[in-house]
């Protein structure tokens, strides 16, 4: 049977690629970067045959005309390449991904599928740093974390548990690394609800989210201006508690939070923690190990990295 051999959670930010020269908190930035390298070494040591990357999509592959709660890339995977992240077709394993989609449905989660999935830095930041130099095919699992209504946190955990069950039902001895990309806390200059934009910038964002399919580059420069001009909002205490709870195997406690409660505690960008909870559930909420935490106002985000090893059978 296929099995999960390692879980990894890591924050992402394209500002890490484009604004390194503007970093003031250099020691914090280098500590997080080194933690990504440590996580990459842990993945290499686990010798995965495939990496399932659970991440968000920042309206470069999904749009308000169609945005499922959960989508599995089962064929071609194309990276958008924004802000120095990987670009173009990525290495995949379509037979494995298609079999996984079928097993997920049998396990109880009806994921949408895409045979030509465009991903952005919500997935490719992990490919760039965590899989650097590793010849491992990827299976993207995209979770809707920005376009309300969002999937409940307990449904994300159910997805993670069913992912482990689906792998366990697959033949062969495929070794799988499960990577969660996103978070920790941050506040993006995006509308709290796309149905009620406030001001010209939020109206522009909603227009881009609705009309960007096949034309997202037309909106990207002004989107970037709005984001880089934003005031940093990081919930440092929440982030440290979240990582402590990951180490103690207590992330299951977060499943009772509503979308509104998670947003109040960690910002609208903290909704990406759905990816971490999905990954942790695939590891049975086993205790993990925090590698680093760095509140980075220059990157607008609390940057964290952690690993979870499966408990012995």
Per-residue pLDDT of the chain (313 residues; tens, 9 = 90+): 899 999 999 999 999 999 898 899 999 999 999 999 999 999 999 999 999 999 999 998 899 999 999 999 999 999 999 989 999 999 999 999 999 999 999 999 999 999 999 999 999 999 999 999 999 999 999 999 999 999 999 999 999 999 999 999 999 999 999 999 999 999 998 888 899 999 999 999 999 999 988 888 888 889 889 888 889 999 999 999 999 999 999 999 999 999 999 999 999 999 999 999 999 999 999 999 999 999 999 999 999 999 999 988 6
Query: What pTM, to 2 d.p., does this model score?
Result: 0.96
Domain encompassing residue 7: 3-188+230-308
Q: Where are the beta strands (DSSP E) in 106-227?
A: 112-119, 138-143, 175-181
Whether residue 203 is contained in a domain is answered as: no
The encoded tokens of residue 231 equal: 């005031």
Whether residue 42 is contained in a domain is answered as: yes
Q: Provide the 3-class DSSP secondary structure of residue 118.
A: strand
Whether residue 214 is contained in a domain is answered as: no
51/139 Cα distance (integer angstroms) = 6
Whether residue 207 is contained in a domain is answered as: no
Print burial letters for 53-75: b (CB count within 10 Å at least 16), e (below 16): bbbbbbbbbbbbeebbbbbbbbe
Q: How many domains does the structure of the chain reveal?
A: 1
Q: Can you give the CATH number for the domain in which 124 is found?
A: 3.40.830.10
Peptide bond into 149 cis (omega under 30): yes
* Contact (Cβ atoms closer than 8 angstroms) between residue 278 and residue 159: yes
At residue 134, φ and ψ (nearest 5 deg) are -100, 130
């Amino acid at each position: 049977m296929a099995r999960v051999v390692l879980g990894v959670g890591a924050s992402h930010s394209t500002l890490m690629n484009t604004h390194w020269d503007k970093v003031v908190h250099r020691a914090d930035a280098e500590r997080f970067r080194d933690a990504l390298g440590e996580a990459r070494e842990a993945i290499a040591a686990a010798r995965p045959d495939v990496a399932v990357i659970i991440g968000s999509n920042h309206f470069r592959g999904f749009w308000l005309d169609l945005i499922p709660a959960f989508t599995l890339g089962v064929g071609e995977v194309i990276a958008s390449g924004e802000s120095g992240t990987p670009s173009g077709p990525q290495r995949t394993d379509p037979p494995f991904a298609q079999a996984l989609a079928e097993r997920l449905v049998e396990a109880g989660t009806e994921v949408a599928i895409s045979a030509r999935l465009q991903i952005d830095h919500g997935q490719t930041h992990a490919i760039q740093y965590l899989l650097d130099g590793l010849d491992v095919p990827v299976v993207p699992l995209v979770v809707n974390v920005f376009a309300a209504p969002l999937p409940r946190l307990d449904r994300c955990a159910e997805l993670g548990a069913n992912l482990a069950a689906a792998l366990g039902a697959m033949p062969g001895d495929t070794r799988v690394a499960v990577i969660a990309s996103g978070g920790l806390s941050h506040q993006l200059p995006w509308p709290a609800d796309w149905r009620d934009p406030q001001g010209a910038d939020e109206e522009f964002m909603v227009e881009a989210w609705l009309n960007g399919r096949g034309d997202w580059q037309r909106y990207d420069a002004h989107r970037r201006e709005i984001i880089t001009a934003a005031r940093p909002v990081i919930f440092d205490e929440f982030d440290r508690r979240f990582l402590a709870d990951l180490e103690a195997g207590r992330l299951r406690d977060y499943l009772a939070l509503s979308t509104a409660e998670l947003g109040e505690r960690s910002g609208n960008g903290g909704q990406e923690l759905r990816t971490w909870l999905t990954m942790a559930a695939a590891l049975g909420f086993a205790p993990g190990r925090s590698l680093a935490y760095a509140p980075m106002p220059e990157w607008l985000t609390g940057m964290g990295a952690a690993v979870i090893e499966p408990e012995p059978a």
